[in-house]
Amino acid sequence: MTQTSGTTPPETPTVEPSVAGLATMGTPPGGETAPRRGRVWRRLRRNPLGVVGALILAISIATALLAPLLAPYSPAAVHFDAPFQPPGTVGFGLGTDDLGRDLLSRILFGLRASLEVGVLAVVVALAVGVPLGLAAGYFRALDAVISRFTDLMLAFPFLILAVGLAAIRGASLGNAALAIGISQIPGMIRVVRSETLRLKELDFVAASVVDGAGDLSVLARHILPNALSAVIVQATVAIPVAILGEAVLSFLGLGIQPPDPSLGTMLAEAQQYAARAPWTAIVPGLAIVVVTLGFNLFGDALRDALDPRGSRR
Positions touching another protein (CB under 8 A) are: 2-9, 143-144, 147-148, 150-152, 154-160, 163-164, 166-169, 183, 240, 244, 247-248, 251-254, 267, 270-271, 274-275, 278, 281-282, 285, 288-289, 292-293, 296-297, 300, 313
Taking each helix axis from N to C end, the angle separating 48-65 and 279-306, rounded to the nearest 10 degrees, works out to 130
Least distance from another protein to the Cβ atom of residue 106, Å: 16
Q: Quick one: 105 or 150, whose CB is closer to another protein?
A: 150
Q: Quick one: 9 or 310, whose CB is closer to another protein?
A: 9
Least distance from another protein to the Cβ atom of residue 73, Å: 24
Q: Quick one: 208 or 262, whose CB is closer to another protein?
A: 262
Least distance from another protein to the Cβ atom of residue 182, Å: 11
Residues composing the chain: 313
For the chain, what is the total number of helices (H) and then of strands (E)?
A: 13, 0
Taking each helix axis from N to C end, the angle separating 279-306 and 263-273, rounded to the nearest 10 degrees, works out to 140
Q: Quick one: 213 or 302, whose CB is closer to another protein?
A: 302
Backbone Cα Rg of the chain: 23
User: Per-residue b/e over 87-108, b at no fewer than 16 CB within 10 Å?
Assistant: eeeeebebbbbeebbbbbbbbb
**CA 205, CA 22: separation in Å to the nearest integer?**
10
Least distance from another protein to the Cβ atom of residue 214, Å: 26
Least distance from another protein to the Cβ atom of residue 208, Å: 26
Cα 162 to chain centroid distance, Å, stands at 18
Q: Quick one: 20 or 166, whose CB is closer to another protein?
A: 166
